[in-house]
Amino acid sequence: MDNLLTMEHLNTTEIYELVQRASAFKNGDAKPCCFDDKFVANLFFENSTRTKSSFLVAEQKLGLKLIDFETDTSSVQKGESLYDTCKTLEQVGADVLVIRHPQTNYYDELENLNIPIINAGDGSGQHPTQSLLDIMTIYEEYKTFENLNILICGDIKNSRVAKSNFQSLSALGANVMFSSPESWKDETLEAPYVEIDEVIDSIDIVMLLRVQHERHGDSEIASFETTQYHEQFGLTQQRYNKLNDRAIIMHPAPVNRGVEIEDTLVEAPKSRIFKQMENGMYIRMAIIDYILQMEGATAK
């Protein structure tokens, strides 16, 4: 694994290895390498709280030196291309780049870089590190993925989380279903669409997605009604009560309380939303550690 761009770049063996490495860091069973001679740059062209902060903590725990980069004060504001920005950072000494960008498949124009790229989210494309932290959270709970029934609810068409998780969880043996308004379905993904109330009592994991208003047109935003959406596609208290005893709730966050999920359920006993955030830092440690160690082995 030279880069981590999509979940398609990982086979199931590599997924399990990353999850086990992250778990070892979390449980204190492994000490991370200290990359105090390595430099990392985080290029976030979209706003982020969880992903950016967990990468920052992970990088500092690994001893990496951070190259200060902010889009608002960079030459991006003068029209510099993404490629030229990344090539510049490579030339001044960056050893790895973490990039979030609103352009889907932005990494296609970065093929001539000679340092690894970790995709922290590309438009409506993929979000592989989110998928891996979700996988870690599910594995902690069930120790398997075979025949788990997973329902992903919400804005499927615009969600990079839905795409990454459908590919990875299906490959690991889970049964993935979607529930979504008609206009937000993604017919390129071969998962069945179901009515949430028809399956709520038989699923193991219900994963709620944030409504991606920033990717919707003005007419969609104007016609969106939060109460109606919550009643049709959100996790209400009534639906929560129908979940089986071992079922868990997940959400990539940020959470729109009272829209995708009832406010009081965000920290309910079945919720693993904040556990996902904790696991995100450890899985990102594992990814960076793995990539830089591979780079070192190649260099030798």
- List the binding residues for carbamoyl phosphate: 50-51, 100, 127, 130, 253-254
Q: What residues form the annotated binding site?
A: 50-51, 78, 100, 127, 130, 160, 210, 253-254
Closest CA to 203 of 228, 220, 179: 179
Q: How many residues does the chain have?
A: 300
3-state secondary structure 109-139: HHCCCCCCEEEEEECCCCCHHHHHHHHHHHH
Contact (Cβ atoms closer than 8 angstroms) between residue 92 and residue 40: no
Terminal alpha carbon distance of the chain: 16
Say if strands 96-101 and 117-122 run parallel, antiparallel, or are unpaired. parallel
Give 19: exposed, middle or buried? Use CB within 10 Å, 0-12, 13-18, 19+: buried
Alpha-carbon distance of 75 to 134, in angstroms, equals 35
User: What's the CA dihedral at 149, 264, 163, 85 to 10 degrees?
Assistant: -150
What long-range pairs does 54-59 form, CB within 8 A, spacing at least 24? 54/277, 54/280, 54/281, 54/284, 55/98, 55/120, 55/284, 57/281, 58/281, 58/282, 58/284, 58/285, 58/288, 59/288
Binding residue numbers for L-aspartate: 78, 160, 210
